[in-house]
Structure 1
Amino acid sequence: MARITYIEHNGTRHEIDVAPGLTVMEGARDNGVPGIEADCGGACACSTCHVYVDPAWVDKLSPKDAMEADMLDFAYKPDPARSRLTCQIKVTDALDGLVVNLPERQI
């Protein structure tokens, strides 16, 4: 299990153990984290699971592929360095301690 911390825009923290093989989005969705809408169900066809990755973790994640980068163009206030779609981040034991911040809203 990897413990992932989801921080809502208002500062509310959700520390959740997520099983390897799931995505960061599935961990949020399955545990009712507000602010991760995941309208497309993880198909990388929307931007409603957008987060800002904590700066300490940005370089520890696999790079964005072209499809994710394109979808992030539709996200609310994307940050070129920190924005990611949680449906594209596969959980492994190496992600234990990952911190992500949710935007003010999803679009």
Structure 2
Amino acid sequence: MGVSPARVLVRHLLPNVLSTVLTVATLELSRIVLLEVSLSFLGLGAQPPNPSWGRMLAESRSYLSASPWLIVVPGAAVLLTVLSINLISDAVRRSLQPQL
């Protein structure tokens, strides 16, 4: 028909895979956040001058009985971050999904 492959990709393929790609990307972002937190908790993540929620959780373990908020605040930050990323992913998927 004389149409370039780039036009076929943009006009026909991209609209059909956009919602799937964005959903997978946002879900992977939440998985990356959890991976960084867990590696930092084990001591394999960011080094001490750099802040990390995992290192905050690991360092506050020894103070759990005296001051539990030291472990609750970074844990809640991780929870809210991952939950918000997943909710954004769900909203993007719903907005880009074709109406049946």
TM-score category by the smaller chain?
under 0.3
Greater RCO (Cα-Cα under 8 Å, separation 6 or more): 1
Question: 1 or 2, which has the higher helix percentage?
Answer: 2
- With structure 1 as the length reference, what TM-score do the two structures score? 0.20
- With structure 2 as the length reference, what TM-score do the two structures score? 0.21
